[in-house]
Amino acid sequence: MRREQRYKAILGYFSENAKEASSELEFKNPFQLLIAVMLSAQCTDKRVNMTTPALFEAFPDPQSLAQAEFDRVFNLIKSISYPNNKARHLIAMAGKLVSDFAGQVPKTVEELMSLPGVGRKTANVVSSICYNEPVIAVDTHVFRVSRRLGLSDGKTPLEVELDLEKHTPAPLRPIAHHWLILHGRYICTARAPKCDSCPLDKWCREYTKKKAD
């Protein structure tokens, strides 16, 4: 199957069957989403959602977080992976929002990546969810699923991202991230993927190889 055919079939399936796909992180505004995504690095969304309510209540805006004491932020997120680094990044990120962006979360990936602790994946997530920018964030789930399905042969997240964006129509890119991440989280898991119940098996390159063996 040619790659173009694979994209058409898989995106078509998701378009028909996963119209309401969205982030599982809980947030009310771009500032809260930015914090949640930063905390979610190497941590589950479930754990982040258990942690952020108290953090959001204590620091409802960039101005308050920028002035926060490290120990207070740390104590609120200590159940999250790498709390030391993340606490420092959160405070520094808020400070830069205040000093460089008038306390507003910027729209573009480039501006977002200028914030402390914000990498390309985090920037893409915030840009696509909050501003509907036509970008696709590639985390471990999206990277794994894209390569297994045959949507990309990229060896790095950036290479996979470029492949996905090249072959995915711009209007579908913001939701395509959610389609792939949720598929990887619940069906195409890292260990023991549920191939026998996967609705994409007929278009999956990895599954086709397994059947041939």
* Residues acting as catalytic residues: 121, 139
**Angle at alpha carbon of residue 161, lines to 29 and 179, rounded to 5°:** 60
**N- to C-terminal Cα separation, the chain:** 18
Tokens 């492949």 -> residue: 163
Compute the distance between CA of residue 8 and CA of residue 27 in angstroms, rounded to an integer: 32
Compute the distance between CA of residue 213 and CA of residue 207 in angstroms, rounded to an integer: 10
Compute the distance between CA of residue 36 and CA of residue 213 in angstroms, rounded to an integer: 42
Contact assessment for residue 133 and residue 174, using Cβ atoms and an 8 Å cutoff: yes
Angle between helices 45-58 and 30-39 (to 10 degrees): 130
Q: Is 98 helix (H, G, I), strand (E, B) or coil?
A: helix
Handedness of CA 70, 73, 79, 83 (dihedral sign): negative
Pull the structure tokens for residue 51.
Answer: 């942690």
